[in-house]
Chains A and B, each alone.
Chain A
Amino acid sequence: MTHRHERILNIGALARVEGEGAMRVRVTGDRVEQIGLNIYEPPRFFEAFLRGRAYTEPPDITSRICGICPVAYQMSACRAVESACGVAVDGPLGDLRRLLYCGEWIQSHALHIYLLHAPDFLGYPSAVEMARAYRPLIERGLELKKTGNMIIDRLGGRPIHPVNVRIGGFHRVPTPRELRGLVPGLRRALEDALATVRWVAGFDFPDLTFDHEFLALTGEEYPLERGTPRTTTGASFEVADFEDEVVEYQVPHSTALHSRLVHGGRYLTGPLARFALNRDRLSPLAHEAAADAGLGRECRNPFQSIVVRAVEIVHAIEEALRIIASYEPPPPSVPVPPRAGRGHGATEAPRGLLFHRYDIGADGLLTSARIVPPTSQNQAAIEEDLRHLVQERLDLDDEALTSACERTIRSYDPCISCAAHFLDLKVVRS
């Protein structure tokens, strides 16, 4: 529906993203007037019905926010509740949680790279269609994904909404033999992951860079289940101060809240942010693979995030092998008696920083809950990137422009199920 003066682009329902969203662009003359990432995923009101639940329940309940990253929800929930109760779960139990999280990074990143994102670069509508020409490649991706799921399955009982995580640790810890059983699969997966980095590094990337601030956890190790939030401009703050440093605000076109930094503005969390702030903490092979893939000190092209995800799979596999090699079973959990207070937790979900905060009463029941998922934090930055992309490519016809927008959105691996508290592309040209 191209018109000389007014132009409207609509992406009805975005494909190959998790959850339901749309996009609407309004162009008047030569100017992009309005970009709206429209998240129509129905709201589910987790923060409301968590009130009155027992302090032991958030890991199981909040995992249901997202079937792709349930472990992330369980990990952030545990850290928040445990901090309210004054207990830190580190050491061997912390390592086991990290191992579980490695499983989720591997399966989620492999899903995004092979089944959701790669078809864009090779010109297919889906991985299944792509498999007709590239069957061994898709099989390699599925095998990688399965390796991640096997870790979650072994340690958590099942790949989606695992059952074994509890406040204080686990219900049951695995025997060394159970974990050693994962090693041959992980060794094969390490080769496949390195091949994945080489494969995706050779894709033809559209020329687009942005200047958003990055926000990620940082610490002694590449961040998964713990760390201190830090930005690329050098600001650092405690997890407990997250709500003072990041403000959420609502826009009419979305059931996902947007976020910005109080002392900055829009920002981006996720693989690109983690890489920019933690590159030197990658495992040896992951660090080497990143350098060989041509990734510099940081990467500011959203389309190349597929390379960073592949590097993070290498890291997660090496990390998993390291944890298994030194594993001796600890007692399954430490006691976490309830106490009145407020607790905060932040961990790195595959898509970025996931923050939870709970207030607990003296009776052990929650009085309030707040959850800030990565995709809602990224929305403002994604919209800004789309604005630039559309502005620079106004000469394209609607179909080509719409397709360029969809590819851009997909490169962020948005998780709309998480964000709804997130996409159709509509472009209006005037």
Chain B
Amino acid sequence: MAPKLAVWKFASCDGCQLTLLDCEDELLTLAGEIEIAHFLEASSAVTEGPYDVSLVEGSISTPADAEKIKEVRRMSRRLVTIGACATAGGIQALRNFADIEEFRSVVYARPEYVATLAESTPISAHVPVDFELRGCPIDRGQLLEVLSAFLAGRSPGIPNHPVCFECKMRGNVCVMVAHGTPCLGPVTHTGCGAICPAYGRGCYGCFGPSARPNTGSLKTWLGDIGMSRPEIDRAFSTFNVTAFTEVSDDPPA
């Protein structure tokens, strides 16, 4: 029997699950190997669980979702989070550092109609997660690798070194050294293919922190090339704000 795949959505932009539909050359082949048993964005036919692999997009930000994720976990043999929202809380986690009541009143005239939690949290804060795939959005190649790995019963080959490695391999000129352009590549998790430096801009950290990031040192460098402290703080406070906040600025041991 074909393994059953489910795709779930919480607070998010739909971009990471769209990545699955963006596998234009592989989608129909993939659909021949697995049963897409629950994927509301793509199909109105739903097969009941349990599921062999669940891909989870989005962060937990409402009381109902905090309950729903537990149900998803119970129905899933393997649970893989896809993207910065599910893995780190996403850009909507900026609320964690603000007054949610005030936020609600800025967007909605009748805030009492809107059910929301004070914090946007990653899936791992609620249930055990088998693998976390980074990125805002995730990389298509990495998604296919993770699916292949879990279907074959092996570990995914997803490196966790900084973007700099990929950047060098791509043959980019270092935008920070050559042009003084602020770049988070030295502390950001690899996987995108070092796109930003290839387009002449600095990495903006959309894959979150790499393994053992030396953020303290990079912040000194960023200051030396002219960034103010608030500018540096904003640079680390985007799509993976909670993950970068948890990183100590002391050099990694």
Contacts and interface: CB of A to CB of B under 8 A. Distances in A.
Interface of A: 13-20, 40-49, 51, 53-54, 57, 60-61, 64-68, 70, 111, 115-116, 119, 125-129, 131, 135, 138-139, 142-143, 145-146, 149, 157-161, 163-164, 166, 170-172, 249-252, 255, 257, 332, 406, 417, 421
B95 to A, nearest CB: 6
27 contacts: A16-B40, A16-B43, A18-B41, A42-B11, A42-B58, A43-B114, A44-B92, A45-B103, A46-B91, A49-B91, A54-B231, A64-B90, A67-B12, A67-B137, A68-B15, A70-B15, A116-B42, A138-B28, A142-B25, A142-B28, A146-B24, A164-B199, A166-B201, A171-B201, A172-B200, A406-B44, A421-B107
Nearest to A254: B113
A64 B239 contact: yes
A44 B89 CA distance: 11
A111 B199 contact: no
B15 A171 contact: no
Interface of A is mostly: loop
Given A64-B13, A249-B109, A250-B109, A16 B42 contact: yes
Given A158-B195, A250-B113, A13 B40 contact: yes
A125 B31 CA distance: 14
A66 B13 contact: yes
Interface string B226-248: 00000100100011000000000
B221 interface: no
A251 B110 CA distance: 9
B107 A48 contact: yes
A127 B14 contact: no
B198 interface: yes
B103 A64 contact: no
Given A48-B98, A49-B91, A160-B22, A43 B107 contact: yes
Given A161-B137, A172-B199, 10 more contacts: A15-B44, A45-B92, A60-B238, A67-B16, A68-B18, A115-B42, A127-B42, A131-B28, A131-B31, A171-B199
Interface of B: 9-19, 21-22, 24-25, 27-28, 31, 36, 39-46, 58, 61-62, 64-65, 90-92, 94-95, 98, 102-104, 106-110, 113-114, 116, 120, 136-137, 192, 195-196, 198-201, 204, 206, 231, 234, 238-239
6 A-B pairs with least C-beta separation: A67-B15, A126-B43, A125-B45, A15-B44, A48-B103, A42-B11
B196 to A, nearest CB: 5
Contact of A135 (B28, B39, B95, B102): B28
Nearest to A410: B44
A18 B114 contact: no
A310 B95 CA distance: 40
A239 to B, nearest CB: 22
Nearest to A172: B200
Contacts of B41: 15-18
A60 B202 CA distance: 13
Given A64-B13, A125-B45, A146-B24, A163 B196 contact: yes
Contacts of A139: 28
A342 B234 CA distance: 22
Contacts of A57: 234
A76 to B, nearest CB: 15
Contact of A66 (B14, B31, B94): B14
A296 B201 CA distance: 47
A160 B15 contact: yes
Given A49-B91, A64-B239, A160-B137, A149 B108 contact: no
B14 A18 contact: yes
B99 to A, nearest CB: 9
A249 to B, nearest CB: 7
Given A49-B98, A255-B114, A171 B42 contact: no
A145 B24 contact: yes
Given A160-B19, A172-B200, A42 B95 contact: no
Contact of A47 (B31, B98, B107, B116): B107
B98 A126 contact: no
A149 B15 contact: no
Among the interface residues B14, B25, B40, B106, which one has the most CB atoms of the partner chain A within 10 A? B14
Contacts of A421: 107-108
